[in-house]
A = this chain, B = another copy of it.
Amino acid sequence: MGVNLQPGQPLAIASSPDHEALVRALTAEAWAAGADEVDVLYSDQHVRRELILHGSEEALTRTPAWLLRRAEELVERRSAVISTTGDAEPHLLADLDPGRVGRTRMPELTEFWWEAIDGGQVSWCVFGFPNEGWARTVFGEPDVERLWAAVATAVRLDEPDPVAAWREHVAKLRARGEELARCRFDALRFRGPGTDLTVGLNPGSLWPVEARTAWGVPFVPNIPTEEVFTTPDWRRAEGIVRATRPLALPGRSVIVSDLELRFEQGRIVEVSASSGEEVVRAQLANDDGAACLGEVALVDGTSAVGRTGLTFFNSLFDENATCHIAYGRAYAEAVEGAVGMSPEGQRRLGVNQSTVHTDVMVGGPEVEVDGLPGAGAAVPILREDVWVLEALATG
């Protein structure tokens, strides 16, 4: 499962020095699984903090040529790529200028990876590594053992045969995705406290679950994953939505609480939050597509992540606890015929383009989700966190 490393394939690991114990274990396992090479790149959030504090505006968005060269080399060599998450210091950037925090990114590198991922040019996987700082954020105390137990539940390591459990789980998600694809809804509607949002879909919206490299190797990009997702039409979101969980901005060590967004003709036109609002505003201003939707994903109450009852303050986990939308870049693979198109062509088709991609959790027991056909009555998909679409479709 996961990155599904093949014998003879190179593996690259992108991680934090805070995760070195995991990195070392992964490296040993990868060689044992027949890796041709294991290349580790550590990124230090403290170094990023100093950049945000002191760098010129130009430096904030600089992609070093060698880093792009490294990405190209990984793609040329059909590598597997693992990224680890689990922020040991999730408030590290909280005292910095939020505009600079939101602007700091490497657009060329992000763009390169999005295209490589859309084209299936690498197998990749993201997962989390429990550590003291992350545990303190979740529990208020550095109880790493408790976080390990929660993560083990969330990623099905507590099953007697985790790999078999994953196979079964992926098959269940695949069936949901296929059902949604058959329904060919024109839009999805979310209704709940503070939320009434309609998200227009593309005529060719797909609901892929398992990813596959261009050379045919299946992999699971997120561990955990509990979602079925698609690429909405970036021009057709309308209404308001209230985030149902706090949002830890990936790579930014900033937590956004009580986020509310209002959409008009696809675009976010109002933002409010009790913390992190300015960082979100800076992100939305980064480029033209940042304020439009790139993803909508459905998750029900059977989610192994959701069943832990925890907020992980980590998007990888929290987005798999409940339904979510993402502003910014869309996955071309989730729209028929979009892979391989030019960015402008994808945009015309309805596939959003941006150097931002931020997931916002919007689901939960109080939020109803319906599928809206082009004509006719709304079709319930989720009620009180229960997946009801299958029963209706097959009943």
Seen from chain A, the residues whose Cβ lies within 8 Å of a Cβ on chain B are 17, 20, 23-24, 27-28, 31-32, 36-40, 42, 44, 46-47, 50-51, 53-56, 59, 62, 64-67, 69-70, 73
A146 CB to nearest chain B CB (Å): 26
Cα–Cα, bound, A27→B32 (Å): 36
A93 CB to nearest chain B CB (Å): 14
A27 and B55 within 8 A (CB): no
B53 and A39 within 8 A (CB): no
User: A31: which of B23, B27, B54 is its contact (CB, 8 Å)?
Assistant: B54
B46 and A20 within 8 A (CB): yes
A364 CB to nearest chain B CB (Å): 39
Cα–Cα, bound, A69→B38 (Å): 18
A355 CB to nearest chain B CB (Å): 20
B47 and A23 within 8 A (CB): yes
A247 CB to nearest chain B CB (Å): 27
Which residues on B sit within 8 Å (CB–CB) of A67? 66
A66 and B70 within 8 A (CB): yes
| Seed contacts A31-B53, A31-B55; 18 additional CB < 8 Å A-B pairs | A17-B20, A17-B42, A20-B44, A23-B44, A24-B44, A24-B50, A28-B50, A31-B50, A31-B54, A36-B56, A37-B55, A37-B59, A38-B51, A64-B73, A65-B69, A66-B67, A66-B69, A66-B73
A50 and B38 within 8 A (CB): yes
Cα–Cα, bound, A56→B7 (Å): 13
Which residues on B sit within 8 Å (CB–CB) of A23? 44, 47
Which residues on B sit within 8 Å (CB–CB) of A59? 36-37
Cα–Cα, bound, A200→B59 (Å): 50
Which residues on B sit within 8 Å (CB–CB) of A73? 64-66
Cα–Cα, bound, A55→B64 (Å): 29
Which residues on B sit within 8 Å (CB–CB) of A54? 28, 31-32
Cα–Cα, bound, A73→B36 (Å): 27
Which residues on B sit within 8 Å (CB–CB) of A27? 46-47, 50
Which residues on B sit within 8 Å (CB–CB) of A66? 66-67, 69-70, 73
A227 CB to nearest chain B CB (Å): 32
A385 CB to nearest chain B CB (Å): 41
